[in-house]
Amino acid sequence: MIPILILAAGRSSRMGGRDKLLEDVGGISLLRRQVLMALEVGQPVFVALPPNAPARQAAIAELDATVMTVRESAEGMSGTMRGAVRCLPDAPAFMITLADLVALESSDLLAVLKARTAQPDYIVWRGATAVGKPGHPILFDASLRPAFADLAGDGGGESLVKKLRDKTYLVPLPDNRARFDLDTPEDWDRWRASTP
């Protein structure tokens, strides 16, 4: 069992009052799409939400995923990761991905999971773009869990993974899927205009 943690506690601060995780993607909300995509992998799925997020909770209410309300999310990405990782079940490794990576597919998560078996000498396995830029999802060996207790600021886990570059195996994923997000209404408009 490898738990998959979806970070969905961001404030969508650049969306002009809209919640990007509730934007429509193929007839369902982005958050629902991401949870369904993760569930296809066949591992337990956990979703980190901020307190008082009823619309996000409703979007995934009946899905077979565990919702975690993370009070530390007010501190930013690091607080969310610190609070959520602490509550994950014991496992040999755990995967973290961002809820707003609209192009990510279940096959991408599977590719990173398989890299752990194929490349056992590493302790971080990370999705990357087709040209090798690191992104998500990120699979962490269980030995790294204690390090998450020290995360601070809005940099998320970058302060942690930067120190582990030589112990990180990059898994190239198609195109820019490992990093492609939509942060503003204009981003969404451009993406929708270019998507068949």
Q: Are 101 and 191 in contact (CB under 8 A)?
A: no
Predicted confidence at residue 31, as pLDDT, reads 95
CATH code at position 149: 3.90.550.10
Average pLDDT along the chain: 89
pLDDT at 13 > cutoff 70: no
- In tens, the pLDDT along 124-182 reads 999 999 899 999 999 999 999 999 888 876 666 777 888 889 999 999 999 989 998 88
Number of Cα atoms under 13 Å in the Cβ half of residue 159: 14
Reported confidence tier of residue 12, pLDDT bands at 50, 70, 90? low
Total of domains in the chain: 1
Percentage of the residues of the chain whose pLDDT score is greater than 90: 59
pTM over cut 0.85:
yes
Judge whether 152 and 75 are in contact, CB under 8 Å. Answer: yes
Q: Which helix (H) or strand (E) holds 162?
A: helix 158-162
Q: Which domain holds residue 173?
A: 4-194
